[in-house]
Amino acid sequence: MIRIADLYAGIGGIRLGFEQAFGKENVDCVFTSEIDKHAVTTYSANFGSENIYGDITKIETSEIPGHDILLAGFPCQAFSVAGLQKGFSDERGQAFFEIERILKAKKPKLFLLENVPNLEKINNGETFQFILSHLKELGYKLNYTILSGKDFGVPQNRSRIYIVGCLDHAKEIEFPKPLGVKTQVSDILEKNVDATYRLSDCRWNHIRTTKTENRTGFGGYKIWTGQEQYTVTLRRGYPAHPENLLFLTDGNPRLLTGRECARLQGFPDSFVIDKVSRRQIYNQFGNSVCVPVIKAIAEQIKKTFFEEGR
């Protein structure tokens, strides 16, 4: 049985990946922190409401139980291109110091941190080096890499940086290699999608007259047929800004459904998503992680640190 602490938990994508890798019966989540009440609703519907706390900045270190692995997909908006790369000057960028506080006090054997790949580059790399140096000062041996969902069976080009720290300097984790599985966007698409997901004439005309066709970056739009290998990154702002993820229909293009967003992140269809509004569903999956990537990393952690004889 491993004990985990799930910080900045969102809807629980990182926890889910660890439960899939270790077996749900072998994972004891002793502490969860998430400030968004809508995310907590979805999290509770899937994992239960036990040991869920709110704002981590208001939780005393003494209230946090000891644990083996700390998990944290800490807020990325402060470090992303879309978030204007404000880093630690953004309130959301202060999340790292809460992680540091808990690591220093509880000394878990391992941690896994997840963030946007741009974290390496902002401020000419100074922010990332600051983070690494502070983690090393706590006694952790560090390994990090960038992995994308499209390499782990998910038809989405979603790259993220993953940092693993361990107190046992004698062991070295190997990050998972791409699976080599061919993906296709149609694999996540639902049949007989409700007409409410189709763009109105007004909205579709606005996009066509203000955006550039077949561009997947800012300022453009693209209509996907489903035959592509993978999509661009699903973002939190979808569908308020859906231009990069519009899908072909026999009329105006349509949005992804909530379930399709879940599948695009590798969540199983058994994952409960309908306890919150449609808007919140989109926000939650845009903020979440590619579960198969987390599972693959967790399997490597299990192999390296928890299997007998290693």
- CA 40 – CA 182 distance, rounded (Å): 34
Residue 217 CA, chain-centre distance (Å), reads 20
Residues 167 and 107: beta-carbon distance below 8 Å: yes
Reading the block at residue 257, the tokens are 């459904």
The answer to whether residue 202 is catalytic is no
- CA 128 – CA 228 distance, rounded (Å): 34
- Pairing between β-strand 52-53 and β-strand 212-213 as defined by DSSP bridges: unpaired
Reading the block at residue 19, the tokens are 């439960």
Q: Which residues of 268-307 are buried (b: 16+ CB within 10 A; e: fewer)?
A: eeebbbeebeeebbbbbbbbbbbbbbbbbbbbbbbebbee
Catalytic residue (one of 29, 76, 166, 290): 76
Biggest CA-to-CA distance, the chain: 64
Give the Cα-Cα-Cα angle 108, 45, 111 (nearest 5 degrees): 15
- Pairing between β-strand 220-221 and β-strand 110-115 as defined by DSSP bridges: unpaired
- CA 44 – CA 40 distance, rounded (Å): 6
Task: Determine the 3-state secondary structure of 119 from DSSP.
Answer: helix
Reading the block at residue 33, the tokens are 């922190």
- CA 187 – CA 30 distance, rounded (Å): 35
H or E element in which residue 192 lies = none
Catalytic residue annotation: 76
